[in-house]
Chains A and B, each alone.
Chain A
Amino acid sequence: MFDLISSNPMIQAMDRSMTLATRRTELIASNLANIDTPGYRTQDFDFNEALKTELARMDSQQTSLVRTHPQHMASTPGSSLPPTVDPVGPAYERNDGNDVSLDRESMLLARTQQNYQLSSNFVQTELRKITSMIREGSR
């Protein structure tokens, strides 16, 4: 009854979004570090589809207020991070077998970072509302 965060759809949705954004940033970091490694292939996943899948799963689970998993906010029980694929393919492949595109990764990095910040700001707005509700409601 007191867990206003687990039952808040906006915060839960943004939590999923930030988890996936973090994961994508990890992969982008690996890609950029290995841009000159012979044979290395770009790693990525379809962020939009992964998020939509996560949100659909979240909606169908409804609000279950019993959280036994210790990593509740970091990752939901039963959810797994999406597998990585090479979306760039042979089009960008160079002589050393590496297909990492600096431009693509840089662009995705900026976009992912912005996405993460936006999600965080939406969470902050929700929290402000919740705390003001608690404060006003106790008067």
Chain B
Amino acid sequence: MSFNDINSIASSGMAAQRLRVQLIAANIANSETTKTPEGGPFRRKDAVFRVMPLQGSSSGPEMAGVQVSKVVSSTEPFISKYDPSHPDANAEGVVLYPNVNPVEEMVNLTEASRAFEANVSVVRAARTMALSAMDILRVQ
């Protein structure tokens, strides 16, 4: 049934955006983390989205959900600050801070939550439409 397909697509969108929000939350939480287990400051993480074709759909290749194909660490340069008294300062007294821009993260967060809500509205619309169709059965 096409409403099932629609719901699958929408829920894949919700899952992808939710993961994105988790990554953003981690970025913000770690924006001051100067030392990680891998060594060096925290690197900003982002999700890479790819089209996910529906399995067993009869409606053709245009209908597709989304998936997170991988999580990438940003290769942007770290932010340097001169602070010799910091425990993680290097030989020149410079501390490297994560390449996280909190303002940018907040903007991404807003976008991700708007996209999430949009997928929710698709589920709601599909439900309303299915109920409308089922009402036809109720005619006495």
In residues 52-74 of chain B, which contact A (Cβ within 8 Å)? 59-60, 62-66
Q: Does B136 reach chain A (CB closer than 8 Å)?
A: yes
Q: Does B34 reach chain A (CB closer than 8 Å)?
A: no
Q: Does A88 reach chain B (CB closer than 8 Å)?
A: no
A30 contact from B50, B64, B114, B136, Cβ within 8 A:
B64
Q: A33-B65, A120-B132 are in contact. Are A106 and B49 (CB under 8 A)?
A: no
Residues of B within 8 Å of A121, CB to CB, are: 132, 135
Q: Does B6 reach chain A (CB closer than 8 Å)?
A: yes
Q: Does A13 reach chain B (CB closer than 8 Å)?
A: no
CA–CA, A81 and B63, complex, Å: 13
User: What is the CB-to-nearest-CB distance from B26 to chain A, in angstroms, rounded to a whole number?
Assistant: 18
Q: A22-B2, A128-B139 are in contact. Are A32 and B122 (CB under 8 A)?
A: yes
Q: Does B129 reach chain A (CB closer than 8 Å)?
A: yes
User: What is the CB-to-nearest-CB distance from A105 to chain B, in angstroms, rounded to a whole number?
Assistant: 7
Q: How large is the interface on A (under 10, 10 to 19, 20 to 34, 35 or more residues)?
A: 35 or more
Q: Is the beta-carbon distance between A117 and B13 smaller than 8 angstroms?
A: no
Q: Does B115 reach chain A (CB closer than 8 Å)?
A: yes
B contact set with A: CB distance below 8 Å? 2-3, 5-6, 9-10, 12-13, 16-17, 20, 48-51, 59-60, 62-66, 111-112, 114-115, 118-119, 121-122, 125-126, 128-129, 132-133, 135-136, 139-140
Given contacts A22-B129, A34-B13, A38-B49, 11 further A-B contacts (CB under 8 A): A22-B3, A26-B5, A26-B59, A32-B10, A33-B13, A36-B20, A37-B51, A81-B59, A84-B62, A113-B128, A121-B132
